[in-house]
């Protein structure tokens, strides 16, 4: 690097750097190429830099959504393309996310070859969109969700989107094959209660298979995300060494044993297990089903997890066209307004904590020299009023402006 390298200087910004430290007024962030070169209040700006005055605007790390599906419920109408050159495919998920300041998404249950093609296409620059970290398919039980629900057991979809081992040996082999194909982590769906109810206990992932999957994943250096829907299942999954719990509870459930939840949170805080609540998915279900009670109970539980010191990630479970990014904004608003989590903490969770959860904190998640310049610029101060996170001015990914809001 030399002083003549073209650079961009973003000046007079309210800097919310993602570290959880104090908001810095009047900050300058210098971007050189795809990286952040400097950030703070005493930054020298080269006379060759292009200067953009951000008075009245806040500058943050690009948001990270820790739980999405690139195809999700559209799977039935969008057959897997099996790795052929991705063009318009998944455009809503890829580019929709950027419009709301989400610059990285973790895909937790998608078609194997599609999600890897999309991830790699975005990384190499042949596709526009937010960066992708992917589990590829998810481990699930035959007859459960989503193989029997979303895809109606359609063979091509199941082959790409599901792994349904019948034995520990088969589970181990499947994890090895996924690792060789290049997935970033492993996803297990443990509970199926929200759809099938506790009346179908045979649809729960057998614990000996969970053990085999977790051990094999860790042997390959892959983390394990576990979809659970009861406090009891989450507890057993945490004890078996999964790295994060997705959802924790889902719709149509009665409040569970308060003391058991407290024990779970103490265990998670102690072990450093992450929790990604995806409460906005409940909101969606609540409006559909009128089950606002589950939503209230879920918000209460997440508040208690926060107070217990559980590492909270932020995910939206976005899965329908047009919803990527937008749903993460709503998740953040719910965390602050309905769970009572302070806005600066929530913003740090959606940036730094999520980067740690995704294993990319060495290069993303905070505004610090050396990190990739994935940046979100909004009007107003979201550390004071979280709804400002939706007032998008500009979104920068890899040092380049990838979206401009109205008036930008």
Per CB under 5 A, which region of 295-303, 310-318, 357-365, 382-390 contacts Zn ion? Answer: 310-318
160 near Zn ion, judged by CB under 5 A:
no
User: Which of 160, 243, 317, 331: binder of Zn ion (CB under 5 A)?
Assistant: 317
CB of 123 within 8 A of CB of 157? no
Q: Closest distance between Zn ion and the C-beta of residue 187, in Å?
A: 9
CB of 383 within 8 A of CB of 344? yes
Per CB under 5 A, which region of 99-107, 262-270, 309-317, 341-349 contacts Zn ion? Answer: 309-317
Per CB under 5 A, which region of 47-55, 262-270, 313-321, 396-404 contacts Zn ion? Answer: 313-321
User: In this complex, which beta carbon is closest to Zn ion, that of residue 89 or of residue 317?
Assistant: 317
- # of chain residues touching Zn ion (CB under 5 A): 1
Q: Whose CB is nearest to Zn ion?
A: 317
Exposed e or buried b for every residue in 251-287, given b needs 16+ CB within 10 A?
A: bebeeeeeeebeebbebbbeeebbbbbbbbbbbbbbe
User: In this complex, which beta carbon is closest to Zn ion, that of residue 184 or of residue 317?
Assistant: 317
User: In this complex, which beta carbon is closest to Zn ion, that of residue 65 or of residue 317?
Assistant: 317
User: In this complex, which beta carbon is closest to Zn ion, that of residue 17 or of residue 317?
Assistant: 317
User: In this complex, which beta carbon is closest to Zn ion, that of residue 244 or of residue 317?
Assistant: 317
CA dihedral sign, ordered 177, 178, 179, 182: positive
Q: What is the separation of C-alpha 19 from the centre of its chain, rounded to a whole number of angstroms?
A: 18
Q: Closest distance between Zn ion and the C-beta of residue 255, in Å?
A: 23
Q: Closest distance between Zn ion and the C-beta of residue 246, in Å?
A: 7
Q: Closest distance between Zn ion and the C-beta of residue 354, in Å?
A: 15
Determine the 3-state secondary structure of 287 from DSSP. Answer: helix
User: In this complex, which beta carbon is closest to Zn ion, that of residue 114 or of residue 317?
Assistant: 317
State the first-to-last Cα distance of the chain, in angstroms, to the nearest integer: 30
User: In this complex, which beta carbon is closest to Zn ion, that of residue 210 or of residue 394?
Assistant: 210
Q: Closest distance between Zn ion and the C-beta of residue 41, in Å?
A: 41
CA dihedral sign, ordered 130, 135, 141, 142: positive
Site for Zn ion in 368-407 (CB under 5 A): none
CB of 206 within 8 A of CB of 144? no
Q: Closest distance between Zn ion and the C-beta of residue 325, in Å?
A: 16
User: In this complex, which beta carbon is closest to Zn ion, that of residue 95 or of residue 317?
Assistant: 317
Instruction: Give the CA distances from residue 83 to residues 14, 74, 78, 184, in Å, rounded to whole numbers and listed in that order.
Output: 42, 17, 14, 17
CA dihedral sign, ordered 127, 132, 136, 142: negative
| Cross-strand partners of 60 | 376
Give 363-405 as a DSSP string.
TSSS--TTSB--EEEEES-TTT-GGGGG-EEEEEETTEEEEE-
Per-residue interface string for the shown chain with Zn ion, residues 266-305, x marking contact by CB under 5 A: ----------------------------------------
Q: Which residues bind Zn ion (CB under 5 A)?
A: 317
């Amino acid at each position: 690097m030399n002083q003549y390298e073209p650079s961009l200087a973003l000046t007079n910004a309210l800097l919310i750097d993602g570290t959880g430290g104090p908001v810095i007024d009047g900050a300058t962030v210098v971007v050189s190429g795809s990286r952040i070169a400097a950030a703070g209040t005493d930054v020298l700006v080269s006379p060759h830099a292009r200067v953009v005055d951000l008075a009245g605007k806040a500058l943050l790390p690009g948001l990270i959504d820790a739980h999405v599906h690139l195809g999700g419920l559209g799977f039935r109408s969008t057959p897997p393309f099996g790795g052929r050159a991705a063009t318009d495919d998944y455009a809503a998920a890829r580019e929709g996310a950027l419009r709301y300041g989400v610059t990285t998404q973790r895909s937790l249950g998608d078609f194997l070859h599609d999600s890897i093609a999309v991830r790699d296409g975005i990384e190499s620059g042949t596709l526009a969109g937010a960066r992708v970290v992917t589990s590829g398919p998810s481990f699930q039980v035959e007859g459960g969700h989503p193989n029997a629900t979303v895809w109606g057991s359609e063979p091509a979809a199941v082959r790409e989107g599901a792994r349904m081992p019948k034995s520990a040996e088969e589970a181990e082999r499947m994890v090895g094959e996924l690792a060789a194909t290049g997935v970033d982590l492993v996803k297990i769906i443990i509970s199926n209660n929200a759809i099938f109810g506790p009346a179908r206990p045979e649809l729960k992932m057998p614990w000996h298979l969970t053990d085999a999957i977790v051990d094999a994943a860790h042997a390959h250096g892959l983390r394990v995300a576990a979809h659970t829907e009861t406090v009891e299942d989450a507890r057993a999954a945490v004890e078996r060494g999964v790295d994060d719990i997705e959802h924790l509870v889902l719709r149509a459930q009665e409040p569970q044993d308060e003391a058991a939840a407290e024990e779970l949170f103490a265990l998670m805080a102690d072990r450093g297990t992450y929790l990604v609540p995806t409460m906005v998915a409940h909101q969606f279900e609540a409006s559909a089903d009128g089950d606002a009670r589950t939503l209230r109970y879920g918000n209460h539980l997440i508040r208690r997890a926060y107070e217990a010191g559980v590492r909270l990630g932020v995910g939206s479970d976005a899965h329908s066209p047009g919803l990527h990014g937008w749903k993460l904004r709503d998740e953040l608003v719910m965390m602050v307004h309905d769970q009572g989590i302070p806005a600066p903490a929530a913003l740090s969770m959606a940036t730094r904590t999520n980067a740690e959860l995704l294993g990319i904190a060495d290069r993303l998640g905070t505004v610090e020299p050396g990190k990739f310049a994935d940046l979100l610029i909004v009007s107003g101060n979201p550390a004071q009023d979280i709804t400002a996170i939706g007032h998008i001015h500009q979104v920068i990914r890899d040092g380049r402006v990838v979206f401009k809001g109205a008036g930008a």
